Structure 1
Amino acid sequence: MNELLARLATLKELAAEVAASSIHRHEMRVLDEHEVVAVLASAAHVQRLLDAVVIEAVGEVVERTDEPVTEGRMTHRFGCRNVSELVQRATLVSPVTAARFEKAAKAVRRGVSFTGGELLEARLPALRDALGDGVVGLDGALAIAAPLMAMGARASRDAVLIADAELAAGARGEGVDAAPPACADLLRVQSQVWAAALDPDGAEPRERAAIHKRAFQLGAATDHGVPVRGMLMPEVAAQFQRICDATLSPRVEGVQFLDSESLDAEVPVDPRTQGQKQHDVLAMALGVAASSELLPTIGGAAPTLVVTVREEDLASGKGSAHVEGTTEPVAIASAQHVACSGAVQRIVFDNAGRIVALGTEERVFNRRQRRAIAARDGGCVIPGCGVPAGWCEVHHVTEHARGGPTHTDNGVLLCWHHHRFLDSSGWMLRMNRGVPEVRAPLWHDSSLRWRPVTTSKTRLLNAVLKT
């Protein structure tokens, strides 16, 4: 057996013993806190060293696959399509991780000269040394290599070597600022700064590529919804992320109950996935934009979602509705949502389909009413939500279709999500002399008490002063 393979076999036996002692014999539980941290640091150091071995091996696979003739490639001899497939089979990692190993290997491997056969210098030699010493692992190697490699030939070799040396020194804790060894995220930031300094025009080609590839497309409607695909420009994605962060970030205050007995009530857990939350933020943003009167008009009116439904179906809650712009029918709940927060116009057809009566458009809560309700409620009234008033819709507590007036005594603020799914969420709303009250689901509040709610600073201050 080759000496390298023999040492790895010995290391594997030792690692198996260490794993058995910590996993099967629970030896970790007898350690104190400092010892647990020491184990964590030592195991991570070993992991970084093993990352270096894997990266070096992947580099050899890359080298031996770089052949013009298919039969001469290492991947072909092992029955694999490419380097990634061979790495996946040998290491049992995912395609994403295999690609990351391959990218790191290309940055630090030492190629062979075609003419003399001697070893060439690695593209990032200082990073290669840091990798071999266990200073950085796969994450750290890619954090340094990715920005520097992306510059291509736009920066001189000497300049790249200077950046490589400085970043490797920072990873070792030997940088000019004498800071402790940098983690992968900090190394990535530092490498990006070096790349920006060495290649001030580097953002321009990336900008051109982003402009060319930008896209947002709606797929064909399915029974489960409408798929989307595309590519957002970085600043557009960042803007959407900021909106998501502002809307979804945990609020210190949230919606608070006014009775002193439950001011410290536990905030309910949001059962939505992150993807569902971001979908609802997008729906909310589209609704705010459409009602802002800043968008171009269609047919002389603001871009309004048009939903058609039979009046008897809307009243009974059964049947289906149709939304202009999609062929798939939607649930009556969608029509009820639009009817509650938008405008309703009644159009009467005879049996042959002729329009025999055309009602005037009934707009719901006007701007003055919205401002007053916002001052009273502060934001979405469902406890723990925290969506601000400007992003909320006004909900008729007693439905407009059932005779509920468009009056501040019958309107409360709800975010898009809680408005759309109020009937199925378990939360109950009622108005008590013009003040909204909420009853939580049984799983959250076994007492099933009705409680006045608000995030209005004025109303909360008034409640505190009364206690």
Structure 2
Amino acid sequence: MIDELARAENAVASCADAAAWALSERDLIAVLDATHRLQQRLAAVQLAAVRELDGRGTAVAQGASSTTAWLRHRLRLDVSAARRLVGLAASVDVAPPGVREALASAAVSVEQARVIADTAATVTASAGPEVAEKAVGVLVEWARQFDPTLLRRLGARILDHVAPDLADAAAAAALAAEAARAARDRHVTISTQTDGRLRLSGTLDAESAALLRAVIDPLSAPTDPEDTRCAGQRRHDALADVCRLALRTGELPENGGDPAQIVVTTGYDGLTRQLGAGALDVGLRLTPDTVRRLACDAAVLPAVLGGAGQVLDVGRQRRLITGPLRRALVLRDGGCAFPGCDRPARWCAAHHIRHWADGGPTSLDNAVLLCGHHHRHVHQSDWVVRLGDDGHPEFLPPAWLDPDQLPRRNHYHRRT
């Protein structure tokens, strides 16, 4: 299989160097069709590999918290794309064979295969595998004419065509399955952009969507004729208002032992002269005006850094003795320090590099932030944690994973 894929890769590479401008319009259309067919055939092979790797537990054995996290790191995908890949591999694996065959023969696209697999799962639950196989055959034929959106709409009443006597009962089952899919697919993704802003995306189930609208709509409604904000800007500001209201309740859960709070960092030289630009403990940059405004209505804890980024002093709160050390860890590591993990600091615990039971001190030089999964993994595996020459954590993989045991670092939380 590897040899065949290598030959296919070489063939595609030779096509990539060809001059598309020299082709006729008819030939260009043929190229488009051929590349599309090839994409679907390759997708079938990739999904089979993903499903087998997932079944073997390869990702967890190599230190990742899940196959999704492992694929994201290895293939440099965003987390939603990695999640879709794992989900589709699982759906196609349990679907009737016709779904895999259709994808491998390029009779359907990847998204059409997803729709057919989901529909087949619903039909199997309500009418059995034999009826599901018939439904797959009909949907594959329809896929020649309809895109995934229309195909899903038609699939909702597929039993009218393949098993009319079961259609009414199956309709109720389909509604239940749709509710289960909505619960499964619900997610919110928060992505940091290069300029420090955040991009929000995701899918809410019906109940959560109703809650969000009930809160956001009145706060984002235009009430002032002189308000020049567009609808998207009003919704943005309404979401910020909701977050401020939540912070003021005092009922939010703690983050790793600290109450909800803001940590602003600034260089030591700038601090001795005047307040300059600041950075939150999650790495986002703030203007001086924003820092001063936040200081008016929030508990801002000063954290002073030296020229090389060492933590010289961290604002103290009397409520928790370990608060300053944890804030220093957050400033240094940013989140889970294990290579390839993007879990934020609020999901992490402090791990003693030299274990407490072995006499290791509770200090910044002997601590590293790890999420729950990687905290357990480091304790139970042969990974070695140490601080590099620059004072930041690095991890030595076990020899079976990397015979050279070259140190690895986490790059998801870097601020520079």
- Per the normalisation by structure 2, the TM-score is 0.41
- Per the normalisation by structure 1, the TM-score is 0.37
Larger Rg, first or second structure (1 or 2): 1
